[in-house]
């Protein structure tokens, strides 16, 4: 906001310098977003996803893949339906970041969620 008001003042679109009226927000440069979530926070996040819409089904599947299997965003983005070995109940893929091949157990709720999302594109 401060920068916007300075711009407006410099371009003579306003006559009063409102940028001086906006307080500075103190922040530490070393402040980081937590790299983990508590179980209760994850349960709250999962509970509010609207699983009735295609976007909600997608989001729910991605969150479960991350929460239950520990997949990274890059891993999830690169997954295809062929990575799911349904007969063996395995998710088999190569991690883009490390180029490591992984075979993870496909837990039931994650599998059904992926199938539910996949049905949107096949019907």
- 33-60: pLDDT as tens digits: 666 788 899 899 999 999 999 999 999 9
| pLDDT value at residue 36 | 77
- For domain 39-122, give its CATH number from 3.30.420.40, 3.30.70.120, 1.10.443.10, 3.90.550.10: 1.10.443.10
Domain boundaries, the chain: 39-122
Better-predicted residue by pLDDT, 23 or 87: 87
| pLDDT value at residue 33 | 62
For 12, counting Cβ atoms within 10 Å of its Cβ (0-12 exposed, 13-18 middle, 19+ buried), the class is exposed
Better-predicted residue by pLDDT, 90 or 2: 90
User: Do the beta carbons of residue 107 and residue 68 sit within 8 Å?
Assistant: yes
| pLDDT value at residue 34 | 62
CA–CA gap between residue 81 and residue 115 (Å, rounded): 9
Distance between alpha carbon 69 and the CA centroid of its chain, in Å?
Answer: 14
The Cα angle at residue 12 between residues 10 and 14, in degrees rounded to 5:
105
| pLDDT value at residue 85 | 96
**Residue 36 to residues 33, 40, 66, 67: CA-CA distances in angstroms?**
9, 12, 11, 10
| pLDDT value at residue 120 | 86
The Cα angle at residue 99 between residues 36 and 64, in degrees rounded to 5:
35
| pLDDT value at residue 25 | 75
pLDDT 10s digits, 1-39: 888 888 898 998 999 998 888 888 776 766 666 667 888
| pLDDT value at residue 109 | 92
CA–CA gap between residue 61 and residue 118 (Å, rounded): 10
User: Do the beta carbons of residue 59 and residue 67 sit within 8 Å?
Assistant: no
> Token pair 């539910």 is at which residue?
116
Dihedral over Cα of 39, 45, 48, 51: its sign: negative
């Amino acid at each position: 906001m401060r920068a916007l008001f300075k711009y407006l003042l410099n371009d003579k679109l306003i006559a009063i310098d409102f940028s001086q009226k906006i307080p500075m927000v103190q922040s530490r440069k070393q402040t980081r977003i937590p790299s983990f979530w508590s179980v209760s926070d994850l349960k709250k996040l999962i509970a509010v996803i609207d699983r009735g819409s295609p976007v909600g089904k997608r989001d729910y599947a991605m969150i479960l893949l991350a929460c239950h299997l520990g997949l990274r965003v890059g891993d999830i983005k690169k997954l295809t339906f062929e990575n799911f070995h349904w007969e063996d109940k395995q998710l088999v893929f190569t991690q883009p970041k490390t180029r490591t091949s992984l075979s993870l157990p496909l837990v039931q709720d994650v599998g059904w969620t992926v199938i539910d999302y996949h049905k949107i594109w096949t019907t």
